[in-house]
Structure 1
Amino acid sequence: MKNTRFSFALKAIFLSVLLCFGLATSSALAQDFDATAEHAIAVEASTGKILYEKDANTPDGIASITKLLTIYLVYKDIKEGKLSWNTKVDISDYAYDLTTDSLASNVPMEKRQYTVKELVNASLVASANSAAIALAEKVGGSESKFVDMMSAQLKEWGITDASLVNSSGLNNSMLGDNIYPGSSSDAENMMSAKDVAIVARHLILDFPEVLDITSQSTSDFDGVTMTSSNLMLKYMTSYRDGVDGLKTGTTDLAGACFVGTTEENGMRIITVILNADNGDTDSTARFTATNNLMNYIYTTYTVQTVLEKGQSYKNSTVEVLDGKKPDVSAVAKDTFKVITPRTTASTALTFDLKKETPTAPVTKGQTVATLTYKDKSLVGSGYLDGEPSVQMVAKNDVKRSFFLKVWWNHFVRYVNEKL
């Protein structure tokens, strides 16, 4: 009898150890990916969900990734009618002189005047510093005023830890007397990986047509063939199907950096690699790091459709005051999708339905509630700008009731609330 109890105890201990080991292994597996870079982050574009991060909140050099913000402000001016793609832009002596320095520019500017379209292409495809500076001077009146505009835009997006000194991403040591007032002679633009992800997300969501430019392996600039430094594009050495952007950056301070974006399996992600390991000796290091990060994301996460457009959530209805009908069905204004770990079943997802109490008349399509996804699988701060939600709208019209009934309803509510 004692031997039986002893054997049972041993088995229980063994099973407990095995269970603990299994749990530890499961936890380790969830954290076993390590991006080969000093700083990294991956986010899903439509929701802003953070899918991976590594020291993503520490500001560091970003080099020519700066141009994503520069070009965002150009697109913004075009949208507001202040510029057009055909607007002519003069090349100042400051911008032109950089074209004589092979370390600072790789596109000649001999005509001294080009269109906005030509300069945007040169900035994004060839990472032409003179093109970015010329655009900054056109939009801001001077590069220093444009830098102030850049900083203001970042603050509008909630970014307060960045430090910007120019529109190109070059080290100040290459700009002579043209550096931002009060900045040091060797200063560079500094942002965190998360900051960069926010900028990139705004660019491709607000101006998705930018991907038509960043997806080009080569492009023509005044008879000169420009070749992209993004080796993950088609026909390039680190090609990955689906990648259509976004921007490289390299300086001694920043190291080898790359912001990538790809859409695969119905999910667009943005990846940021700052100072890739061995980037100083391996020209493909930042792309290898990006490819591995993308592989990790797509094997770990998936898209789940919660509601199709026009579909209700658990047959939800919303009370309508003073209507001929007491309530109205609430349906999704748009298709609602969320990003989850592949191991998460749809039945495990939780949501918060916040209802309004509209007063009749209610028109079809009027917002009557908001459905928010309560995500339990968060990385870091979870989302770049809050959990995803969808507006729920009235499925049908609800007309206002007969005035005597409305009067009676108001009287009853008054009595119930005040007396």
Structure 2
Amino acid sequence: MKSSWNKALVRWILLPILLVSLVVTQPAATDAEVGLNLTVDAAILIDADSGKILYEQNADTALGIASMTKMMTEYLLFEAIEKGQITWDQQYSMTNYTYKISQDRSSSNVPLREDGSYSIRELYEAMAIYSANAATIAIAETIAGTEEQFLVMMNKKADELGLEGYKFVNSTGLNNSHLQGMHPKGTGQEDENLMPAKSVAKLAYHLLKDYPEVLETTSIPKKIFREGTSDEIYMLNWNSMLPGLVFEYEGVDGLKTGTTDFAGHSFTGTAERNGMRVIAVVMKAVDSEGVGSYKARFDATRALFDYGFTQFAKEEIIPAGYQFKKQKDIPVNKGKEDQVAIAVKEPFEMVIKSSEKDLYTPKLVLDEKKVKDGTLEAAIKKGEVVGHVEVVKSEGTDYGYITDVTASTDVVTTEAVERSNWFALGMQAIGHFFANLWHGATDFVSGFFK
């Protein structure tokens, strides 16, 4: 009896020690997991230049995107302008749909006159600065004829850009229930646009890459719509991180907020400091009490921006002229030289944590169409591209890139190799013949002694 009691006592004494040891010996969380503590449903931070992902949190789950949808409308607008399909000065005449939606001040709008006519530029500024919903629908109708047809364009462009997990039901990002029964055919009364944070970031990435002029408008903190007329309306940018606004953050010049009951308080922001631009996406941000608010989304974005600008920098990983220790040259066939030296053409730079620079090592990837069976055929020009170099992280998490294209730089020949003349090629062939004959004979003879 006493022995059993002692054993039980020992178990109770050892149990807390065992539990503590299990906690202590668990693998340490990554810096991103420990340092940010974001109270959001999803988030992502990328380098806007290369698309390198610097941080992500639940970035592959499709969530409501609300007015961040308007980045797609902006993209298609710029594309239509570029193709000459419409112009900035083109006038839009009101439809019953846009007029009724514009009168609803419970959602973001600039009221439009039923008999009014508005330029595409006016409507675009109302959309980009004030997130005006009727103005957005007006742009969609101008480009495609109807919002229903515009949805077809949105889906097609989403596929072209490589977006995944998306669902578009309108051009604005409103819940369809706010469209007064006039939502596009084929969509549900309560439907709302969806997209994962990673696809939202990819959309923003392509918008800034292809049409960086969008920042000229998204960076405007405040403007008067139709200034100097009886219809003038003061528009305060919903992006409160812009200079002079309540949550100002140095370097912010875009991009698009989004708020609905379903999507919560979301934001796609971009900022540039010291030549480095980042894009941050936060979705359904809440405060420490679990309550969504404008402040919560900007606080989360600030944390992402701070993380990006303080922890990361563009570093030169591989210098120009770098030669690989295990392969400084490539064998040459039918050339005056038996081999040709190769090296990295341009320096390879990448946005990484400065403290992790030594964790990245170069990886040579030869072009198999040129380098067949490990050999180049003469003649070979100096500076001829024979492959590219990528970098591999030896330890820790590497989130990769927002697109399928991996950053790399060319590997080239450092000298020219002329093709041998017919006589030299003939002598080489004879030499190879006798060499093969000799090797065959020696192998045959050595077989007797095995």
Pairwise TM-score range, normalised by the shorter structure: 0.7 to 0.9
Whole-Å separation in 2 of the counterparts to 1:411 and 1:208: 62
SS at match of 1:188: coil
Q: Which has the larger radius of gyration?
A: 2
Do 2:311 and 2:353's aligned partners in 1 also have CA atoms closer than 8 Å? yes
Q: Percent identity?
A: 34
Whole-Å separation in 2 of the counterparts to 1:97 and 1:410: 84
Q: Indicate which of 100, 121, 124 corresponds to 1:120.
A: 124
| Number of equivalences | 399
Q: 1:7 is matched with which residue?
A: none
Whole-Å separation in 1 of the counterparts to 2:83 and 2:385: 29
Q: Indicate which of 242, 247, 250 corresponds to 1:233.
A: 242
**Residue 76, structure 1, aligned to residue 76, structure 2:** no
1:318-333 map, 5 Å: 318=330, 322=334, 326-327=339-340, 329-333=342-346
Whole-Å separation in 2 of the counterparts to 1:144 and 1:35: 37
5+ residue gaps, structure 1, are 1-17
After superposition, the Cα gap between the structure-2 partners of 1:196 and 1:394, relative to the gap in structure 1 and judged at 3 Å, is same
5+ residue gaps, structure 2, are 1-19, 441-450
SS at match of 1:27: coil
Whole-Å separation in 1 of the counterparts to 2:318 and 2:29: 31
**Residue 163, structure 1, aligned to residue 167, structure 2:** yes
Q: Indicate which of 354, 362, 366 corresponds to 1:351.
A: 362
Q: 1:48 is matched with which residue?
A: 51
Whole-Å separation in 2 of the counterparts to 1:157 and 1:260: 19
SS at match of 1:284: helix
Root mean square deviation, CA, Å: 3.4
Q: Deviations over 1:220-274 (max 9, x none)?
A: 4321442211111101111111111111011111111111111234432211111
SS at match of 1:76: helix
Instruction: Give me the TM-score of the superposition, normalised by structure 1.
Output: 0.82
**Residue 385, structure 1, aligned to residue 420, structure 2:** no
Q: Deviations over 1:97-130 (max 9, x none)?
A: 2111102343233374333333322211111112
Do 1:319 and 1:328's aligned partners in 2 also have CA atoms closer than 8 Å? no
Whole-Å separation in 2 of the counterparts to 1:141 and 1:414: 74
SS at match of 1:293: helix
Do 2:109 and 2:130's aligned partners in 1 also have CA atoms closer than 8 Å? yes
Do 1:52 and 1:379's aligned partners in 2 also have CA atoms closer than 8 Å? no
Letter in 2 for 1:336: F
Q: Deviations over 1:57-92 (max 9, x none)?
A: 221111100001111122222333333433444443
Q: 1:218 is matched with which residue?
A: 222
**Residue 336, structure 1, aligned to residue 329, structure 2:** no
Letter in 2 for 1:374: V
Tell me whether 161-170 or 89-98 shows the greater mean CA deviation.
89-98
**Residue 59, structure 1, aligned to residue 62, structure 2:** yes
Do 2:181 and 2:189's aligned partners in 1 also have CA atoms closer than 8 Å? no
Whole-Å separation in 2 of the counterparts to 1:142 and 1:229: 27
Do 1:247 and 1:259's aligned partners in 2 also have CA atoms closer than 8 Å? yes
Tell me whether 242-251 or 310-319 shows the greater mean CA deviation.
310-319
After superposition, the Cα gap between the structure-2 partners of 1:330 and 1:235, relative to the gap in structure 1 and judged at 3 Å, is same
Instruction: Give me the TM-score of the superposition, normalised by structure 2.
Output: 0.77
Q: 1:144 is matched with which residue?
A: 148
Q: 2:15 is matched with which residue?
A: none
Whole-Å separation in 2 of the counterparts to 1:20 and 1:281: 36
Q: 1:10 is matched with which residue?
A: none
Whole-Å separation in 1 of the counterparts to 2:118 and 2:273: 36
Whole-Å separation in 2 of the counterparts to 1:102 and 1:415: 91
SS at match of 1:31: helix
Q: Tell me how far 1:381 sits from its aligned partner.
A: 5.2
**Residue 242, structure 1, aligned to residue 244, structure 2:** no
After superposition, the Cα gap between the structure-2 partners of 1:148 and 1:395, relative to the gap in structure 1 and judged at 3 Å, is farther
After superposition, the Cα gap between the structure-2 partners of 1:230 and 1:63, relative to the gap in structure 1 and judged at 3 Å, is same
